Amino acid sequence: MSGDDRDDQAGSLSWAKKLMTAGVGAFFLTEEALRTLVSEFKLPKEIVGSILDGAKNVRKEFMQNVVSEMMVKIQDKVDPSVMVADFFKKNEVTLEVKIKVKDKSQSEADSSGV
């Protein structure tokens, strides 16, 4: 293998490593850190914006899927109606409500100083 071939291979590996870092970093890095990383590629602003938007959408979709899956797992293991029934069986609940009714003409007179 000649020196030029090794240089080309090293350059290709370097680019592959940067692309993998950018791909994985798109999920884990902050927007500013990702912007700095992508700027090394000397890409047009439109492409950088598209990459950042894509990363934002991937993070959002991932988090929605995680929450959805967690809720399914919890609901599979816990029946809310049984949980509420058990709560009321074990606890005494006291509800105190205070309602105050005031005549409108009385409150208007109070506010005008009469």
Cα Dmax for the chain: 102
Both structure tokens of 46:
């439109």
Distances (CA, A) of 2 to 6, 9, 58, 86: 6, 11, 42, 77
Predicted confidence (pLDDT) per residue in 43-72, tens digit: 777 877 787 788 788 888 888 998 999 888
Token digits of residue 104: 């409108």
Instruction: Determine the Cα–Cα distance for residues 48 and 42; give it in Å rounded to an integer.
Output: 9
Q: What does DSSP assign to residue 92?
A: -
pLDDT tens string 16-42? 666 666 666 666 667 777 777 677 777
Whether residue 86 is predicted with pLDDT greater than 90 in this model: the reply is yes
